[in-house]
Amino acid sequence: MTSKTHTSINVIKTPRKKKVRTHCLPSLEQPEETNITKPKDPVQVFCRIKPLDSEYISCVRVKDSTTVVLEALDQTLDSKQGLQKENHYVFGHVFESEISQRDIFYAVALPLVENLIKGRNSLLFTYGITGSGKTHTMTGYIGQRGIMPQCLHALFRTVSSYQAKKCVFKPDYLNGFEVLSETEASYERQHKMCHRFKDALKLEDSCLEVVSQSPRYLSLLQSIDEDNIYAVFVTYIEIYNNSVYDLLEEGNIQKTLQSKIIREDANHNIFVHGATEIEVESMEAAMAAFERGQNRKRVGHTVLNAESSRSHSVFNIRLVQAPTDSHGEHVVSDKRHITVSQLSLVDLAGSERTSRTNNTGFRLREAGNINNSLMTLRLCLQYLRENQQSTNAVPKKIPYRDSKITHLFKNYFEGEGQVSMIVCINPRAEDRFENAHVMKFAEMTQQVQVARATPVKAGLGFIQGRRKANEIFKIAADNLNELGHTEAKNIDVDIGLVFFSSFPEYKIDSPEGDSNIKELMQYLLLRIEKRKILCKDLNTRCDNFRGNLMKMEEENLSLRRELNQAKARYKEERDRSLGLMKSLALLESSQNVLKNKLKNHEYEINVLRRKLGEQQALFDKKEGKLTQETKKIEASSSLKKCG
């Protein structure tokens, strides 16, 4: 894919009031119903013109980036249909036929993904006649990825480093979630793995295909809270003939799907009861789930002999997030701190007159149902606008419940969030009348106001950046351990608990000031809650500190005792060694005296020996003489005898 630079699009918005920072209580209790006006934003409406096939004549002209003109063709027919010569329609932005899928995503859907990450709900739907490019815009095709896959891509690019292990967040099947412990989550993972072993193999195959097609040009969104843990869930719903079907339902694909009921949860949120909610850890897994739903849809429609484009499709991306504990390591297990936000991507069925399509019998009923649901949608928005504009009159009852699709949308119009709509236009002259209807409705929709979402950040006052600090701490401990400092492994991570939350700036300068006071009260209550947590933590830390101090004092005393004993022993030993040194010196001097004596004696011995030698020689000499004398005497005496 060639990498194009992103064209910036100036979307005209109604001027917004100064941003008000709001906070909620840690317990996510529903705020009391009040008649205080909340800040509101209009429904954002964008118009996308489909490229015209060469054999057709166009009836649409784009005047400027916000205005589209339906041009006059056959004046007699036009006046019969109640159309003027030219009709001008103004939208947030008009996308001409050459606009790329990527630019549409950036202009329309990226802010909604940011909302999702910030914990706010958004609804985006495509509206237009059959063949006008709704599915192309919302889902797209291989090589022409639409809004939905690009939203998933942007979301996972942002949250992937902060994702919880699978099954840490578990749907409670009443539209809420609970937090499982490590052990419970790991058991749940194993259980699911065994259960879906075969499916997983199939899923992996299809993943490979999608990975290679995923766009690679998106950068991280800045709105992420790096101290939170995230999980992404998807549901895929179809509304056909005013019945709701779960396209992700497990089991035999050939089985006819059972219709589901729409319910309201404890927080007055509307949801499809029993709809399969799949936790997806990557864009590929989410797309695989979507493909599974598409297959179900195809098989279901073959069974029912229905047309795929004759139903409304609702793909919900739910982001569950919860803060990490004070160490930035584990998710806070209190389910009141969970924030769930939702992005509903809706591909509505085509809107056209039944008379024009020449439908009969079954198809006529099908078309009638579509028209009824779209008519209800138009009516709901019209009444909403009227109620909002004429504050004095008795408000009209809005018929959300008359159709399943409007019943599902109720939350967005009555609650908080952002609603955006892309009106798709096929510029063929044949579609002029239908397009006029579509654009008139779309233009009117822009006057409907939706309460701006309150940021749902259950800040606990823990230090910001604790999760990263924890990671760095652990890396450092591992490195030290590798270097042979085994004690590093046992050091407890202590990032410290520091209150972090700046006081919001509130200015009461409009009638909405009352709501600011209420938000301020909520903020103050939150601060009181945080203060309690911090005081408790401070007390524990003080107790621990006192305990440690006493232990250290005791150790200090015993060390001092040991030191004194050692000092006394040292003195004794030193004296002893001095005494020994003295006697050694004495011994050495007496040894020297003896050595001298020995030398003298040796000398005397040598002198005596020499003298003895001399005496011996003298003696030998005398003895020789004596022997001779004796011999002579003996000889003379014998001579005398003889003689």
Binding residues for ATP: 128-135
| Alpha-carbon distance values, 107 to 6, 112, 444, 636 (Å) | 10, 10, 21, 163
> Smallest distance from the beta carbon of 68 to ligand ATP, in angstroms?
15
Cβ neighbours of residue 229 closer than 8 Å, sequence gap 6 or more: 162, 163, 164, 168, 321, 322, 323, 324, 331
134 binds ligand ATP (CB under 6 A): yes
Nearer to ligand ATP, 131 or 415 (CB): 131
> Smallest distance from the beta carbon of 183 to ligand ATP, in angstroms?
47
> Smallest distance from the beta carbon of 311 to ligand ATP, in angstroms?
9
CA pair distance 356, 452, nearest whole angstrom: 40
Cβ neighbours of residue 404 closer than 8 Å, sequence gap 6 or more: 239, 242, 243, 244, 262, 373
> For residue 345, which of 108, 30, 187 has the smallest C-alpha distance?
108
Instruction: Name the pairing type of β-strands 140-141 and 418-425.
Output: unpaired
> Smallest distance from the beta carbon of 358 to ligand ATP, in angstroms?
16
> Smallest distance from the beta carbon of 400 to ligand ATP, in angstroms?
23
> Smallest distance from the beta carbon of 102 to ligand ATP, in angstroms?
12
Nearer to ligand ATP, 421 or 526 (CB): 421
Stretch that binds ligand ATP, among 109-117, 128-136, 151-159, 488-496 (CB under 6 A): 128-136
* 8-state DSSP, 428: B
Q: What are phi and psi of 25, to 5 degrees?
A: -70, 155
Nearer to ligand ATP, 270 or 424 (CB): 424
Residues 395-434 that bind ligand ATP (CB under 6 A): 424
Nearer to ligand ATP, 46 or 462 (CB): 46
Nearer to ligand ATP, 376 or 515 (CB): 376
Nearer to ligand ATP, 158 or 420 (CB): 420
x/- mask, ligand ATP, residues 284-313, rule CB under 6 A, reads -------------------------x----
148 binds ligand ATP (CB under 6 A): no
Asked if 237 and 297 touch (Cβ cutoff 8 Å), the reply is: no
**Which value, to the nearest 10 degrees, does the dihedral of the CA atoms of residues 631, 636, 637, 640 take?**
160
Stretch that binds ligand ATP, among 2-10, 55-63, 132-140, 466-474 (CB under 6 A): 132-140
Residue 97 three-state SS: coil
> Smallest distance from the beta carbon of 97 to ligand ATP, in angstroms?
6
Tokens at residue 637, please?
A: 């005496």
Binding residue for ligand ATP, selected from 350, 417, 427, 461, defined by CB under 6 A: 350
CA pair distance 448, 403, nearest whole angstrom: 19
Stretch that binds ligand ATP, among 129-137, 202-210, 359-367, 525-533 (CB under 6 A): 129-137
Type of residue at 467: R
Binding-site size for ligand ATP (CB under 6 A) equals: 14
136 binds ligand ATP (CB under 6 A): yes
As to burial, measured by CB atoms within 10 angstroms (0-12 exposed, 13-18 middle, 19+ buried), residue 153 is: buried
CA pair distance 230, 157, nearest whole angstrom: 12
> Smallest distance from the beta carbon of 140 to ligand ATP, in angstroms?
9
Cβ neighbours of residue 387 closer than 8 Å, sequence gap 6 or more: 395, 396, 398
As to burial, measured by CB atoms within 10 angstroms (0-12 exposed, 13-18 middle, 19+ buried), residue 50 is: buried
326 binds ligand ATP (CB under 6 A): no
> For residue 396, which of 382, 378, 375 has the smallest C-alpha distance?
382
Nearer to ligand ATP, 300 or 350 (CB): 350
Asked if 495 and 327 touch (Cβ cutoff 8 Å), the reply is: yes
The per-residue b/e assignment along 224-263, b for 16 or more CB within 10 angstroms, e otherwise, is bbebbbbbbbbbbbbbbbbebbbbbbeeeeeeebebbebe
Stretch that binds ligand ATP, among 131-139, 165-173, 373-381, 496-504 (CB under 6 A): 131-139
Is residue 173 left, alpha or beta, with left meaning phi > 0 and alpha meaning psi from -120 to 50? left
> Smallest distance from the beta carbon of 51 to ligand ATP, in angstroms?
5
> Smallest distance from the beta carbon of 346 to ligand ATP, in angstroms?
12
359 binds ligand ATP (CB under 6 A): no
371 binds ligand ATP (CB under 6 A): no
369 binds ligand ATP (CB under 6 A): no
- The H-or-E segment that residue 322 falls in is strand 312-323
Nearer to ligand ATP, 436 or 460 (CB): 436
The beta strand positions in 136-176, using DSSP E, are 140-141, 144-145, 169-171
- The H-or-E segment that residue 209 falls in is helix 197-211
Residue 138 three-state SS: helix
Nearer to ligand ATP, 24 or 247 (CB): 247
> Smallest distance from the beta carbon of 91 to ligand ATP, in angstroms?
16
128 binds ligand ATP (CB under 6 A): yes
> Smallest distance from the beta carbon of 67 to ligand ATP, in angstroms?
19
Annotated binding site: 128-135
Nearer to ligand ATP, 221 or 287 (CB): 287
The per-residue b/e assignment along 117-145, b for 16 or more CB within 10 angstroms, e otherwise, is bbbbbbbbbbbbbbbbbbbbbbbbeeeeb
318 binds ligand ATP (CB under 6 A): no
Nearer to ligand ATP, 164 or 424 (CB): 424
Asked if 137 and 41 touch (Cβ cutoff 8 Å), the reply is: no
Binding residue for ligand ATP, selected from 26, 39, 43, 50, defined by CB under 6 A: 50
> Smallest distance from the beta carbon of 304 to ligand ATP, in angstroms?
16
Binding residue for ligand ATP, selected from 40, 41, 42, 131, defined by CB under 6 A: 131
Stretch that binds ligand ATP, among 133-141, 211-219, 531-539, 632-640 (CB under 6 A): 133-141
| Positions that interact with ligand ATP (CB under 6 A) | 50-51, 128, 130-136, 309, 349-350, 424
